[in-house]
């Protein structure tokens, strides 16, 4: 009888622990657009749009993120977004990150790509989140075709 009670207690405790330790689904961070800004002698400014989604019922904060930006397979360098974004449970937000391309460090062929109507933009990096689960560092890799003619 005591063995049966112990077995039942272990099963109930296991079920409670499994239900109470729900895992965090990683938020998604994806490139949502790319806009060429001011072009000067020494470089060009880009506005890189990101779409963030929280697939969890609990709110969370994306504290900051950093990334490497590729256009048509060529790296333009590294960027970051230092401002935090609060995401409600199942919420989403859009963030624009300012990215400065140094023309002196890139071949002219790479800069010429930014004059095309459509390009392939990829951002690969990591972001830092916090919420009821604590603090986490997560990676992301987003690849999208972008229309630069707008």
* Beta bridge partners of residue 123, listed in sequence order: 69, 142
Return the domain boundaries, the chain.
23-147
User: For residue range 115-147, what is the model confidence (pLDDT) as tens digits?
Assistant: 888 999 999 999 999 988 889 999 999 999 998
- Among 142, 141, 143, 138, residue whose Cα is nearest residue 63: 138
> For 25-57, how does the pLDDT look when each residue is reduced to its tens digit (9 = 90+)?
889 999 999 998 887 777 888 999 999 999 999
Q: Does domain 23-147 have CATH number 2.60.40.10?
A: yes
Q: Quote the CA–CA distance of 53 and 57 in Å, as a whole number.
A: 11
Highest mean pLDDT among 4-8, 21-25, 65-69, 133-137: 65-69
Which alpha helices (DSSP H) does 58-134 contain, by range?
108-113
């Amino acid at each position: 009888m005591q063995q049966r009670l112990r077995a039942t207690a272990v099963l109930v405790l296991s079920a409670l622990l499994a239900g109470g330790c729900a895992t965090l689904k990683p938020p998604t961070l994806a490139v949502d657009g790319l806009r060429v800004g001011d072009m000067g002698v020494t470089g060009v400014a880009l506005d890189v749009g990101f779409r963030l989604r929280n697939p969890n019922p609990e709110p969370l904060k994306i504290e900051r993120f950093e990334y490497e930006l590729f256009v048509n397979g060529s790296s333009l360098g590294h960027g970051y977004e230092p401002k935090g974004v609060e995401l409600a449970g199942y919420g989403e937000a859009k963030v624009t990150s300012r990215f400065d391309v140094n023309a002196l460090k890139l071949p002219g062929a790479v800069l010429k790509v930014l004059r095309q109507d459509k390009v392939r933009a990829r951002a690969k990096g990591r972001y830092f989140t916090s919420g009821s689960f604590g603090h986490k560092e997560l990676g992301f890799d987003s690849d999208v075709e972008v229309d630069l003619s707008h």
